[in-house]
Amino acid sequence: MAKKPSKNNSDKKNTPDAFIENAGVVIDEKITDTLIKNYMPYAVSVIVSRALPEIDGFKPSHRKLLYTMYKQGLLTGKRTKSANVVGETMKLNPHGDGAIYETMVRLSRGNGTLLHPFVDSKGNFGKQYSRDMAYAASRYTEVKLDPICNELFRDIDKDTVDFVPNYDNSTTEPTLLPATFPTVLVNANMGIAVSMASNVCPFNLAEVCETCIALIKNPDHDIISTLKGPDFPGGGFMLYDDEEMKQILATGRGSVKLRSKYNYDKSANCIEITQIPYSTTIEAIIEKIIELVKIGKIREISYIRDETDLNGLKIAIDLKRGTDPEKLMNKLFRLTPLQDSFACNFNILIGGVPKVMGVKEILEQWIEFREVCVKRRLKYELKKMQDKLHLLKGLGKILLDIDKAVKIVRETEEESEVVSNLMIGFGIDDIQAEYVAEIKLRHLNREYILKRIQETDDLENEIAKTEDILSSSKKIRNIIVSELKEVSKKYGKPRNTLFYYKNDIVDVDIEEDIPDYPVNLFFSESGYFKKITPQSLRMSSEHKLKEGDSIKIHKESTNSTDLLFFTDRCQVYKTKASSFDDTKASVLGEYVPASLSFDEADEAAIYMVDTKDYEGYMLFFFENGKAAKVPLKAYETKTNRKKLAKAYSGKSKLVSMLYIKEDVYILMRASSGKAFIFNTDLMAYKTTRDTQGVQVMTLKGKHLLDSAVVADDNMIKELKKYCVKTIPAVGIGGKDIMEYDQLEL
């Protein structure tokens, strides 16, 4: 028989929906509140617990992996399968095995990412300098800790660092590793957090230790005198810029230029690249060279191949007959990643707070950290010695009257009372009495007694010595110095990355191989550009344009000419005519703002200048009646800068812009109807690009300058009465000027 439903509402109250407050109700919440509540904890976690290294030189993922290997006995034992280490590490690092194994790969000797690898590896671990050379699965490779890890874990079991529970409280792990040398500067460390990143370049271990020792002895030590510059595991050459290096060492920010190492095999007419910049890969270099060959910028190369094998990196470049290898390499350095930059950003966690520091401050922080480690070790050892001395002193009291001790033990009826009776008989505590009670009968002889008494004396001397060291900061620092000297002697190596200097750089004209031939350049009012050969223009001269657009500038030039595009935001963008493809009049052309990637979406190109020698002047006319005459040389740069800001003044609205190679006559007209003609030789030129110029036309009331155009010979002849010999001028009005208003000038 079915049970009747209860009339009591208590069952209804216990339904799941009854416990969900505001279920199904949409509540408005500010986006800022949502970000603070949901995103900020994640951001903090990434910054503090994942992406940035700490003063010991490690991120949490590195530390957890190395400590797991240490606990597995891999510091002295044989290699084990990488999969075993990965699985064990998951007890500390609750991420996927793939992420843990990738971390191991980057720490390994086989991969070559670190100047001093921490993992001694066997098998295929890929290569740092190759994008496509994949590492083998963890079940195929074997690892153990490299001998240098002895310096990472020295005295870790002597309370030198704090330990915290792992994520499930099943074990503990160190918060930092008590490294005896500044690993934070010796091995490269890169990480991207939320809103910040870290990029620490590696320095030579011997130089870092020497610098640290010098800084301990003299706080005003000049860092650059001992720490010359970064030392990358891949070798190569670094451009030594004294000012840039001082900035990096002082602030922790800056960049260094790295260049590949090569040799030329004359018999095979082949260049062999054997070392490349740390920040690039073999594949990136080869792809870029192939691209340059295809577009015709590099014509001296017949073939390129990757010959990297077990002997190391090698890129072979076969040259065409008659090619100068040194000249070609200097060109490749400028056009390809064979020369690249490494950006430095020494952002390190100090006490859980990210901080960008120079090398000196980093070393000072490390010295403070290491002082704490040494003090904690000495206090640990002191406590052990004091405990042992306490036992020996208790033993000493017993040894003064062994017969009494034996008698107490023999006359004690119950074993549990032996300790308490010894305490009463000799006035010792329970710890001492327990120790005495455990002494074997065979040790109750003269030799044993004398040894224990001597040991007590030695222990007291050692305790006094340790207490003396603990009371002296100088002596603690001396210990750090001795450890640094030991590390430098044992693990120091010559520099991999050598230096080259500015006077070693050979300037090469990269554009010399650009084919030069006659072209017609067209620039429209809407900002479209066309480069057309004379042959193509003869076949079809009718231009395709957007509705309402028209050709503003037409120049006959060559393919190697420089082009300057002035914009409505007082900027000028520079490029070469060769950077545009040849086209036909029947196509729309290339939209300049898109082709040159203008800064702002609505920035427009308003004028074009073509030049090879940067001779002549730019004329700028403003509606307030002022005009500026600026030499085109002011826009010439030694480097290939794409954009120049402050190309002209923006304080008054621009009315007209003209490029002239020599002085010309200009017809100026105002909104008042007045006009005059003057020669530009009356204007003094200004070398500052954004100059406001000089007053050329005097305007009265609210009248503004309307136009400024070049006056040809016919115009000058017909409007002779409008010519002036001095400026500024007011101008005159007349019917003949009104007639010229109807013309397209």
Tell me whether the omega of the peptide bond preceding residue 515 falls within 30 degrees of 0, making it cis.
no
Please, are residues 233 and 278 in contact by the beta-carbon 8 Å criterion?
A: yes
Residues 97, 103, 109, CA angle at the centre, nearest 5°? 125
Structure tokens at 662: 């020599």
658 forms bridges with which residues in the sheet? 619
Please, are residues 340 and 258 in contact by the beta-carbon 8 Å criterion?
A: yes
* Sign of the CA dihedral with 612 first, then 617, 619, and 620 last: positive
Q: How far apart are CA 653 and CA 406, in angstroms?
A: 112
Q: Exposed, middle or buried by CB within 10 Å (0-12, 13-18, 19+), for 328?
A: buried
Please, are residues 621 and 678 in contact by the beta-carbon 8 Å criterion?
A: no
Please, are residues 422 and 405 in contact by the beta-carbon 8 Å criterion?
A: yes
697 forms bridges with which residues in the sheet? 729
Q: How far apart are CA 580 and CA 528, in angstroms?
A: 12
Q: How far apart are CA 272 and CA 233, in angstroms?
A: 19
What's the residue count for the chain? 745
Would you call 140 a catalytic residue per the annotation? yes
Q: Can you give the three-state secondary structure of 174-232, one letter per residue?
A: ECCCCCCCCHHHHCCEEEECCCCEEEECCECHHHHHHHHHHHHHCCCCCHHHCCCCECC
| Structure-derived torsion over alpha carbons of residues 70, 73, 75, 78, reported in degrees to the nearest 10 | -140
Please, are residues 394 and 436 in contact by the beta-carbon 8 Å criterion?
A: yes
Q: How many CB atoms lie within 10 A of CB 105?
A: 23
Q: How far apart are CA 254 and CA 68, in angstroms?
A: 36
The label of the residue with tokens 């040398």 reads 181
CA 629 to each of CA 63, 609, 675, 708: distance values in angstroms, whole numbers, following the listed order: 65, 15, 20, 13
- CB within 8 Å of 450: residues ≥ 6 apart: none
Please, are residues 493 and 388 in contact by the beta-carbon 8 Å criterion?
A: no
462: enclosing H helix or E strand: helix 446-470
273: enclosing H helix or E strand: strand 270-275
| Structure-derived torsion over alpha carbons of residues 93, 99, 102, 103, reported in degrees to the nearest 10 | -30
**Which is catalytic among the residues 39, 42, 140, 303?**
140
Please, are residues 629 and 686 in contact by the beta-carbon 8 Å criterion?
A: yes
Please, are residues 553 and 609 in contact by the beta-carbon 8 Å criterion?
A: no
- Strands of 142-145's sheet in order across: 80-81, 142-145, 119-122
Q: Which of 730, 650, 727 is nearest to 690 (CA)?
A: 650
Q: Catalytic amino acids?
A: 140
